[in-house]
Chains A and B, each alone.
Chain A
Amino acid sequence: EAQVTQNPRYLITVTGKKLTVTCSQNMNHEYMSWYRQDPGLGLRQIYYSMNVEVTDKGDVPEGYKVSRKEKRNFPLILESPSPNQTSLYFCASSFRASTSEQYFGPGTRLTVT
C-alpha cells in the first residue's frame, strides 16, 4: 500500500530533551515536506526537500532540523524542544513539487512541557 508513515504518533516530552520524528514514504517520491498544524493557522511549512541531499527552510524553520540522506526518509529533529513547539506535525511527499498532489502521513501530536 502506498503510504507515508510517521513515528511516533503521540509524544509527550520535556523542554530541552532532543527528539526525532521519523517520516518514510514508499512511493519513490522526490519531494518531501514537514508541516505543523495549529488551530486557526492552517498548515505551515517547516522544511522541504526537493530531492536527496537538497533541503531548504519553509515558513517556520526555527528550532527544527531535517536531513534527506535517502529518498524515502525525511526525519524531523528538535534539538532542544520548547513549549511553543507543541503542535500537530505532518510529513508529506509528492512525485514532484509542481503539479503533483501531496500525500500526508497520519500526523504526530507533540506536547512539550
Chain B
Amino acid sequence: AQSVAQPEDQVNVAEGNPLTVKCTYSVSGNPYLFWYVQYPNRGLQFLLKYITGDNLVKGSYGFEAEFNKSQTSFHLKKPSALVSDSALYFCAVRDMSAAGNKLTFGGGTRVLVKP
C-alpha cells in the first residue's frame, strides 16, 4: 500500500530565510508526486508535481522540490520565505499501479513564517 509521511507537524521560519518542508513516500510502482498548499478557509491549491525527467521541479510562488529516488523523498523548498507563505502544506503521491490511480496525501505540515 502506498503512503506519505510528513514528519513535521509545524515548521517555523523567519521571513527571508530558506524554507524546507519534508516529505517521504512509499509506493510499489513509479511515483507521481505532488505538493499542494491550503490557506485558511480555502481549498487546496496545486504547487508543483514530479512525473518524470529532471529531479528538480519548479512550481508556483517560487517553490521547488527535489525528487530523490534512493531516499524516497520529495522535499519542498523555497530559498527565501515570505510571511504570506504561512499555510498548510500537503505532499501527495499517486501510485500508477493502484486502482483508480489513487492519490494519497500526507498529514500536512503547517508553515509559520514570522516577520
The chain B residue with its CB closest to the CB of A35 is: B105
| A107 CB contact (under 8 Å) in B43, B51, B94, B105 | B43
Task: Please pick, from B34, B43, B99, the residue contacting A101 in the complex, using a CB distance under 8 A.
Answer: B34
B57 sits at the interface (CB 8 A): no
User: Within 8 Å of chain A (Cβ to Cβ): is B102?
Assistant: yes
Q: A90-B44, A101-B34, A104-B45 are in contact. Are A58 and B102 (CB under 8 A)?
A: yes
Pair B51/A99 contact, Cβ less than 8 Å? yes
Smallest CB separation, B5 vs chain A (Å): 10
Chain A residues, CB < 8 A from B105: 35, 42-44
CB-CB nearest in chain B for A96: B101
Interface string of B85-115 (1 = CB under 8 A from A): 0000010101010011111011110000000
Roughly how many angstroms separate A27 CA and B106 CA in the complex, as a whole number? 27
Asked if A90 and B90 make an inter-chain contact with CB atoms under 8 angstroms apart, the answer reads: no
Main secondary structure of the interface of A (DSSP, over half): strand
Whether B102 contacts A45 by the Cβ 8 Å rule is yes
Interface size of A by Cβ–Cβ distance < 8 Å?
A: 25
B interface footprint on A74-113 (CB within 8 Å = 1, 0 otherwise): 0000000000000000101000011101111111000000
Q: In the complex, what residues of B have CB within 8 A of residue A106's CB?
A: 41-43
Contact A41 B46 (CB under 8 A): no
Min CB–CB distance A101 → chain B (angstroms): 4
Nearest-Cβ distance from residue A67 to partner chain B, whole angstroms: 17
- Contact sample, A vs B, 27 pairs, CB 8 Å cutoff: A41-B107, A42-B4, A42-B90, A42-B106, A42-B107, A43-B44, A43-B92, A43-B105, A44-B105, A48-B100, A48-B102, A50-B100, A58-B100, A58-B102, A90-B43, A98-B96, A99-B49, A99-B51, A101-B34, A102-B34, A102-B46, A103-B46, A104-B45, A105-B43, A106-B41, A106-B43, A107-B43
B residues with a Cβ closer than 8 A to A are 4, 9, 32, 34, 36, 41-46, 49, 51, 90, 92, 94, 96, 99-103, 105-108
Other A-B contacts than A98-B101, A102-B34, A107-B43, 15 sampled, CB-CB below 8 A, are A4-B43, A35-B105, A42-B90, A43-B44, A48-B100, A56-B100, A58-B100, A58-B102, A97-B101, A98-B94, A99-B32, A99-B49, A104-B45, A106-B42, A107-B42
